[in-house]
A and B are shown apart, each in its own frame.
Chain A
């Protein structure tokens, strides 16, 4: 126990009162006072009062017996040999130097503790950061391939592996399939984890092998196999940290790709189907049209989106009343078959066979509806033509049959003069001719339909052709005014062309009930010869003119006037002219006659 000197001055008194660690050195370098607190701090290993400062300093384990005003950090050696961190500062006072010693051992202890905590936190932060980095890759990967490549690369980089591979199970199988590999030859397809391990163990040779099972939802998603010189604690910790997240990300990406593939398949079907598919939301706004629908309605797929269905379908009921979408949306029941009409943006109308169904797209309120439209315009037209055919042909047959019956009844039952009998026989002959012409026309139509309309083309004199045509019916001479340019030659089928001329002349006379003259003009044009047959008869309503060249189409005013006709003549004429490489046309104003013209090219049609 150090012998304490009494405080020699007021300074000592103050120090003792403050319980400070301090000692006082005289100007001569001798210790004059040591505070009780300092003595206790240093373990009280001797009586320093009267000793030289240098001696005391050496006892405390210091080399340089210097004390400066600037606080110095030192390690003082206690009497028991323990080191004490302290800060020493010398303050000049009247009786020498006051040396204040600040005990830093508590601070050192706290510092050691905080360093320990920091180290621990840093290590956890390392793991978190590894996880953060790898999740960034998971979040930004575009597809499974990229994700596998990046994850394997990241895992290899972090563990300094030299080679490695990532084997994955697909969504439905148990086999581990290679998904990514680096610095390995093509890894094989392996039956299970064990086989994978065995294979890579062999590949690893003398290197170390690390196998990382990747599991999520209690299922093995895959396995990462790494080959390297050594996998330290740090690498193992990193892998443990990321394995689960990797497994989840890989499985999620597999699901995403599977879904996308299914969606693509569906989209391809919808895009490829020739049925028109139109989808609307709960407000009857169009939210999807497939290419077939866009083509039918003559609207671009994007332009249709967001518009009211009535607008896109050209429907007049404005999504109310008769609207099948509205009906399906409110009843939530499908409409299986309904024939309707839709109107394309160009105004063209189509008959469609439609089916409608409600469509649930996710949540309760997200109801929509879908319509599948099959364009049956063509079938409708065919049905119409069939009906027209039956009506026309039966009518055209009935008229001559009635006539024939009339003639034969007259011949059978009445006593007729020879002259009267002759008239009946002529009537029978004419009617039979008309009948056989009708049969011939129907046969011609069949030939045209089947592409069997063969031409016997030869070089013909136009003047001679016109002359021979006019000779067929002697009475034509009185009503037909023919104007033919001289010396014209064409390549054509004599019989067929005559058939056309007869047909046109016949029509012109038939539809000019007033007995007005008919003009037949033939003239040379650049590239061919033009024939026109012009009458001043009842004419043809403008809207019906084009249709007359199709089968069984007759002008409405012709039908109304009870003028007989099969509706086949102009159709056959068009086929014959087109077979010659020419074209046929018609101009007319109703009540003011019609002109039908055709052009036969000068060069024979090859």
Chain B
């Protein structure tokens, strides 16, 4: 595996990793969501990504763009609640930005993330500080863009991006929700970590883990 690019085959592994991560963290996410939402985020995400893992092999060996778009389309309909259309938009726009290529490098990744981030802002009509997925995705995207501008090695860039997402996720704790159903909790939403920002961090972290695992397997 080329350490500065990610092949289409790796994306299939990454998506398998998403499904495993959401499955492992289902209860955790549901507990977070229960505090200021309807308490189904974990189950919804796990269900959605399980559906993705099940249905994607039928696609065959397509380019990275079509793969991500297929993931997005699947999520829109398989993840219940608002998360489906939101994550769906992220994957679809990232896929559109990627095109038919079979391999992406760091600048491509940064472009994909930016496209996903913009899609989220547009569909969710949300911005950083609203206590949403955006609070993790926006800093992660900016970190990746900064790394790309400085020609940082891919793994390092991914690590920086995941750290930024983690910090962003934690930043939602004191926030008062200004978006989504949690908004109805008003001031009472403060003090709880946002479930969407958490699932976003977990997904990004899962990308890093998959890339690291495949790298180690290759070296062995």
Contacts and interface: CB of A to CB of B under 8 A. Distances in A.
Interface of A: 73, 104, 107-108, 111, 114-115, 118-119, 122, 125-126, 128-130, 132-133, 136-137, 140, 146, 150, 153-154, 157-158, 234, 238
Contacts of B86: 129
Contacts, number: 59
A170 to B, nearest CB: 25
Contact of A157 (B88, B89, B99, B178): B178
Given A122-B119, A150-B184, A157 B93 contact: no
A118 B88 CA distance: 12
A122 B92 contact: yes
Of the listed residues B65, B85, B95, the one surrounded by the most CB atoms of chain A closer than 10 A to its CB is B85
B99 A111 contact: yes
B123 A126 contact: yes
Contact of B93 (A104, A122, A238): A122
Give the interface size bracket for B toward A.
20 to 34
Given A129-B124, A133-B180, 17 more contacts: A73-B101, A73-B102, A125-B76, A125-B85, A125-B123, A126-B123, A129-B82, A129-B89, A130-B125, A132-B82, A133-B82, A137-B181, A140-B184, A146-B184, A150-B184, A157-B179, A238-B125
A150 B183 contact: yes
Contacts of A238: 125
Q: Please give me the 3 A-B residue pairs with the lowest Cβ-Cβ distance, nearest first.
A: A158-B125, A129-B85, A126-B123
B1 interface: no
Q: In terms of DSSP, what is the predominant structure of the interface of chain A?
A: helix
A107 B123 contact: no
Contacts of A130: 125
Contacts of B123: 122, 125-126, 129
B151 interface: no
Of the listed residues B86, B100, B102, the one surrounded by the most CB atoms of chain A closer than 10 A to its CB is B100
A595 B93 CA distance: 104
B69 interface: yes
Nearest to B124: A129
Nearest to A127: B123
Interface in B156-205: 178-181, 183-184
B43 to A, nearest CB: 18
A129 B122 CA distance: 10
18 contacts: A104-B100, A107-B100, A108-B100, A111-B65, A118-B69, A118-B95, A119-B96, A126-B89, A126-B123, A128-B85, A129-B86, A132-B85, A136-B181, A137-B184, A140-B184, A153-B183, A154-B183, A234-B122
A140 B101 contact: no
A126 B178 CA distance: 19
A158 B179 CA distance: 10
Nearest to B99: A111
A122 B93 CA distance: 8
B119 A157 contact: no
A342 to B, nearest CB: 49
Of the listed residues A122, A130, A158, the one surrounded by the most CB atoms of chain B closer than 10 A to its CB is A122
A111 B100 contact: yes
Contacts of B96: 115, 118-119
Nearest to B86: A129
Contacts of B181: 136-137, 140
Contact of A118 (B92, B122, B125): B92
A104 to B, nearest CB: 8
A115 B96 CA distance: 6
Contacts of B65: 111
Interface in B126-176: none
A122 B91 CA distance: 11
Given A136-B181, A140-B184, A157 B85 contact: no
Contacts of B66: 114
A108 B63 CA distance: 12
Nearest to A136: B181
A129 B77 CA distance: 12
Contacts of A153: 183
Contacts of B93: 122
A126 B184 contact: no
B183 A122 contact: no
Contacts of A111: 65, 99-100
B180 to A, nearest CB: 7
Given A132-B82, A150-B183, A126 B100 contact: no
A44 B129 CA distance: 59
A151 to B, nearest CB: 12
Contacts of A122: 89, 92-93, 119, 123
